[in-house]
Structure 1
């Protein structure tokens, strides 16, 4: 037995594997960062005349929720990181508006002194649009986006992150620089720090390089791009919820950037509570919504080419034919492949 395997066995450490994903041009309008592409050079490559940005207004949406009547430590760490990043000297010029979109009963979850706006509560959950073996009143992603983006003005950029995704202090400044470089849509993959019991910004936790993570939990897009979105009823907290977001961004953005090798966001631990067959009917619901959104987006012939390229080159599971149609059982096949991969 090798030394590293003995070490893992001795301390009960499980081997972590990283899903490798394509890089380079995934479509004519979608560029995916490779491990060898420095973040600091990206804007200069795409815009040789790049200069420090004029003020850019950001509206950052999040859906915090109560656990036993209060915020848990994970979400508290996320909130603290957002407040800290907003006032960081490297945040750049422009307004940064933090928006909490609550479910019913959580309207007072965020205290006013955090300087976060509270949107009107959500009227629906996934239980209003489907029936599931284990009923859970999960929010619908596009309902959250609609509520939060209602405070955005023309010319603003919207950010959405999951409730457990912390920001590095320089996050908003980096986002503003990338926007100034000509990107109207950005996905940012997180780094995984420590374990799920960390929740703190102590020197040891923050000193980690962190592990790459293949999942999507942070999105940036212009208000103009958002206004063109095809909405779905995919629900948060379950597999497949993000697929329609990726399809919308690939369809509507003029220049989309997918960041895979950056330290802009992070998460403590790599817990994935949805990875259980108990919730596979939620996953099937979300992947069906994704298939419907892809088919609707592909009805636009001017966008179909970008979508076909993106689907072929990103993960390669979704396949559009020349007429922009999916196989009838595409959602089921993708859901089964995704669940098997996460087992």
Structure 2
């Protein structure tokens, strides 16, 4: 396996016992440390990074490298009826890119834990497939796990599959082309936007939806969300898609595009992060462009 180096950033937040993150974050942190240690035994370099608000420092373990504190939130962009200090994914990704030098960057939500072999397997996938981007779907585990001491049991729990995107691995050369607008974390469409940036700009983006590499405590697929923030993110994504990503989309690079037609549309329809009608339009565009090339080739003869 070719030696690779990764910089992996998460966005910790100080929360009270009523938040799911109160239990999930310490487990995530410890799982990242164990995966980093396992990677080191296989000569895979991993740098663990965070970005945070000043009030979040107390919850960050010493084995993370802190990038500069975040200086704004979505509340600086517009007003909301129920104010929530949610960071902007663009600010988070900027710190990952500008405060690292690894060829490959990784972003995961702070409630996503890692299997010990995570980084080794990611390095293996990148070298074996020639991909410059990976999307890795998590396994959903019961919320009954409450402590990092339970990680040995967590690792053995196969859990259930999850269709959404929350783990992103990509070559750092892709970052300058990516667009984030004012999308905030903690609300749907953050994963949608990151994934569609990779569909647009990666040479080859591979979806890993059937391996036990990451996990999440809690089995809900679509949690409740605040409609106001949801529509904020959704509108931001639509603007990014229409103004920046659309010309670069090639349906052949989308997940499941290689499947027979019926299976392909079934997979798209059941994935909340993919859009069946948009993909249908892209499929028609691909057929039209292919027909144009065939006609042009015939005229040339």
TM-score range, shorter chain: 0.7 to 0.9
Identify the match of residue 259 of structure 1 among 208, 217, 236: 208
1:250 maps to 2:250? no
Q: Alpha carbons of 1:92 and 1:299: their partners in 2 closer, same or farther (altered >3 Å)? A: same
- Indicate conservation of the 8 Å contact 2:145/2:154, yes or no: no
Q: Specify the alignment match of 2:275 in structure 1.
A: 316
The Cα offsets for residues 55-111 of structure 1, whole Å up to 9 and x where unpaired, read as: 211000100100149982210000000011101167633421110101232234324
Q: Specify the alignment match of 1:84 in structure 2.
A: 34
The Cα offsets for residues 300-324 of structure 1, whole Å up to 9 and x where unpaired, read as: 4xx24349967996433452868xx
Q: Specify the alignment match of 1:158 in structure 2.
A: 105
Identify the match of residue 100 of structure 1 among 38, 50, 53: 50
Secondary structure at the residue paired with 1:186?
A: strand
Q: Specify the alignment match of 2:124 in structure 1.
A: 177
Structure 1 gaps of 5+ residues are: 1-51, 323-343
- Mapped partners of 2:207, 2:41: distance in 1: 21
Equivalence map 1:24-35=2 (5 Å): none
1:237 maps to 2:178? no
Say what the alpha-carbon RMSD is for the aligned residues. 2.9
Q: Specify the alignment match of 2:243 in structure 1.
A: 296
Q: Specify the alignment match of 1:67 in structure 2.
A: 15
Secondary structure at the residue paired with 1:261?
A: coil
Secondary structure at the residue paired with 2:250?
A: helix
Q: Specify the alignment match of 2:250 in structure 1.
A: 305
- Mapped partners of 1:309, 1:173: distance in 2: 25
- Mapped partners of 1:164, 1:241: distance in 2: 14
How many angstroms does 1:246 deviate by? Answer: 1.4
Range with greater deviation from structure 2 (281-290 or 68-77): 68-77
- Mapped partners of 1:168, 1:235: distance in 2: 27
Q: Alpha carbons of 1:282 and 1:318: their partners in 2 closer, same or farther (altered >3 Å)? A: farther
- Mapped partners of 1:259, 1:273: distance in 2: 20
Secondary structure at the residue paired with 1:142?
A: helix
Secondary structure at the residue paired with 2:7?
A: strand
- Mapped partners of 2:246, 2:204: distance in 1: 21
TM-score normalised per structure 2: 0.79
- Indicate conservation of the 8 Å contact 2:139/2:159, yes or no: yes
Q: Specify the alignment match of 1:110 in structure 2.
A: 60
Range with greater deviation from structure 2 (265-274 or 143-152): 265-274
Secondary structure at the residue paired with 2:169?
A: strand
- Indicate conservation of the 8 Å contact 1:65/1:102, yes or no: yes
Equivalence map 1:112-151=2 (5 Å): 112=62, 114=63, 116-151=64-99
Range with greater deviation from structure 2 (195-204 or 101-110): 195-204
How many angstroms does 1:118 deviate by? Answer: 0.2
- Mapped partners of 2:179, 2:136: distance in 1: 21
Range with greater deviation from structure 2 (184-193 or 87-96): 87-96
Identify the structure with the greater helix proportion: 2
Structure 2 gaps of 5+ residues are: 258-263, 269-273, 283-301
Q: Specify the alignment match of 1:280 in structure 2.
A: 227
- Indicate conservation of the 8 Å contact 2:14/2:58, yes or no: no
Q: Alpha carbons of 1:317 and 1:134: their partners in 2 closer, same or farther (altered >3 Å)? A: farther
